[in-house]
Amino acid sequence: MARQATRVAQRVAVATEVLRDEKFNARRIELAEAALETLGELGFARTSLREIAQNSAFTHGVFHYYFSDKLDLICCCVRHYKAKCVTRYDEVVTSAQSRDELTEGFLAKLAATLQDEARMHRLWYDLRSQAMFEAAFRKDVLEIDKSLEAMIWRIASRYAELGGTRPASSPAALYALFDGLFQSALLKHLANDDRAIPELLDEVRRLLPTIC
């Protein structure tokens, strides 16, 4: 009887702790999301915790309650960003029934991404560059890079499959190519070059049949 009671008490204690943990984690993500807004606006170099706090519903002290320091916060941001980013084209890949359909779906998403999420993507490139200086970022960044490479590979494989062929390049080369093209287009787009998006689409449209 007493034994059962303590067991129940234990279970309750564990349950409440799990609940607290979940709540804690949810808040962390909320804060990370707020931080991403400001980071996307200003870039890593110019973003301070106070600036982040001011552009959000929180005060600057909270961030030190939920994160051990600034790097911890930004690592959390990067990891959170990843989850959103990596699945962007999956719906197109699984639903497309022909090369044309896949191509058009991919290009449309590509254009929309460049148009609507330029800020998040320039932040990604910023943080990836930071990882070259700051070892603390490297693990997460390399992991995301791998995920993005896999994402591109899924598209290329499906494209090849729909034509009964196999991709003509390695996953690394394909990712490098698309990433390079996207990065360059993003910079031009941000410099108010209206040709950036159409040129990127043309390039990709031309490339897909030759390399996949």
Instruction: Find how far residue 106's CA is from the centre of its chain.
Output: 17
Q: Which residues contact 122 (CB under 8 A, 6 or more apart)?
A: 40, 43, 186, 190
Q: Which is nearer to DNA, 71 or 142 (CB)?
A: 71
Pick from 1, 2, 5, 45 the residue near its own copies by CB under 8 A: 45
**Within a 10 A sphere around the Cβ of 131, how many other Cβ atoms?**
19
Dump the DSSP string for 21-46. HHHHHHHHHHHHHHHHHHHHHH-TTT
Q: Which is nearer to DNA, 12 or 108 (CB)?
A: 12
Pick from 7, 23, 180, 198 the residue near its own copies by CB under 8 A: 180
What is the smallest separation between the CB atom of 16 and DNA, expressed in angstroms? 5
Helix, strand or coil, per DSSP, at residue 155: helix
Q: Which is nearer to its own copies, 105 or 171 (CB)?
A: 171
Q: Tell whether residue 156 is a contact of DNA (CB under 7 A).
A: no
How far apart CA 93 and CA 103 sit, in angstroms, is 10
Q: What are the CA-CA distances from residue 52 to residues 30, 36, 47, 68, 70 (Å)?
A: 12, 8, 7, 16, 11
Region from 15-23, 24-32, 40-48, 106-114 binding its own copies, contact rule CB under 8 A? 40-48
By CB under 7 A, name the binding residues for DNA. 16, 20, 23-24, 27, 47-51, 58-62, 64-66, 69-70
By CB under 8 A, name the binding residues for its own copies. 42-46, 122, 125-126, 128-135, 138, 141-142, 145, 168-170, 172-173, 175-181, 183-184, 186-188, 190-191, 199, 203, 206-207, 210
